[in-house]
Amino acid sequence: MRILLIEDDTVLGAAVRDQIAADGQSVDWVARLDAAGDAMRGASYDLILLDLMLPDGRGIDFLKALRARGDVTPVIILTALDQVSDRIAGLNTGADDYLVKPFDLAELSARIGSVARRYSGNPNPIITHGPLEIDLAARSIRCEGKPVQLTMREWALFEALLTRPGQLLSRAQLEEKLYAFDAEVESNAIEVHVSRLRKKLGRQVIETERGLGYRLGKP
């Protein structure tokens, strides 16, 4: 795995670089955002370690621009900013993980491994699916540019299908997603919500395998 480290603290940067190298990974270390841009134009990275406060700008703006142009490279933020609001902003912008300084180098290695293992989709909070534009962070949907209002239960069901594209989910599996909203789930609850979602988002958005379950329709 090839990793881009963007960190201006020379002591920490050297320690992280050596840790990654000791783990058998390849790492390129830069101290500025402009250098990071140059590095990404010259190489393909499997993961980025990103500081938020850098000499030539804010790491959060770099991440936002990265996701806006469709780059799905996994990103772990490394920062001294430890407020909950800072963590929420980083994760909602498209980061895969957030580690507050000072941190244990072994923990960093574990988090890198965890992100690498689980990474299989698009971390961009904005997803397009046919005519739909879905904001996972805001839990909002636009269809052909027009906002679509979903109930919490409709969103929970749709999100379950959206995050498992191509996978068939049984009624029982989908009912588990709704259980937190209702103490008791009626026997036809899934069918009712699927019907409503189709009316709001289009009939093709959910496919039915009779007697087996449902899956996300093709875009």
Residue 79's domain is classified under what CATH number? 3.40.50.2300
Dihedral over alpha carbons 169, 172, 174, 180 (to 10 degrees): -160
Q: What is the pTM of this model?
A: 0.58
Whether residue 29 is found in the same domain as residue 76: yes
Whether residue 130 is found in the same domain as residue 105: no
Please report the sign of the dihedral spanned by the C-alpha atoms of residue 10, residue 105, residue 60, residue 96: positive
Domain final residue, candidates 118, 149, 180:
118
For 107, the domain range is 2-118
Whether residue 114 is found in the same domain as residue 10: yes
pLDDT in tens, 134-185: 987 677 899 999 999 998 778 878 988 887 788 999 988 787 666 434 445 5
Whether residue 6 is found in the same domain as residue 92: yes
Across all residues in the chain, what is the average pLDDT? Answer: 86
Please report the sign of the dihedral spanned by the C-alpha atoms of residue 200, residue 204, residue 205, residue 209: positive
Whether residue 30 is found in the same domain as residue 104: yes
Q: Which amino acid is at 48?
A: I
The residues, any chain, with a CB within 8 Å of residue 65's CB and separated by 6 or more, are none
DSSP code at position 139: T
pLDDT in tens, 117-148: 665 455 566 788 999 999 876 778 999 999 99
Domain containing 205 — which CATH number?
A: 1.10.10.10
Domain final residue, candidates 49, 84, 118:
118
Please state, in angstroms and as integers, the Cα–Cα distance from residue 142 to each residue in 79, 163, 164, 194, 200, following that order.
34, 17, 20, 18, 10
pLDDT in tens, 69-108: 989 899 999 988 888 888 888 889 999 999 999 999 999 9
Whether residue 95 is found in the same domain as residue 33: yes
CB 6 within 8 A of CB 51: yes
Distance between CA atoms of residues 68 and 46, nearest Å: 18
Whether residue 75 is found in the same domain as residue 102: yes
Phi and psi at residue 26, to the nearest 5°: -95, 135
Instruction: For the chain, give the longest Cα–Cα distance.
Output: 61
Contacts 24+ apart (CB under 8 A), 190-194: 190/157, 190/214, 193/153, 193/154, 193/157, 194/157
Whether residue 164 is found in the same domain as residue 189: yes
Total structural domains within the chain: 2
Question: Tell me, what's the pLDDT at 182?
Answer: 41
Whether residue 154 is found in the same domain as residue 72: no
Whether residue 99 is found in the same domain as residue 136: no
Question: Tell me, what's the pLDDT at 172?
Answer: 83
Distance between CA atoms of residues 132 and 147, nearest Å: 10
Distance between CA atoms of residues 108 and 219, nearest Å: 37
Whether residue 79 is found in the same domain as residue 30: yes
Domain final residue, candidates 97, 118, 139:
118
Whether residue 144 is found in the same domain as residue 169: yes
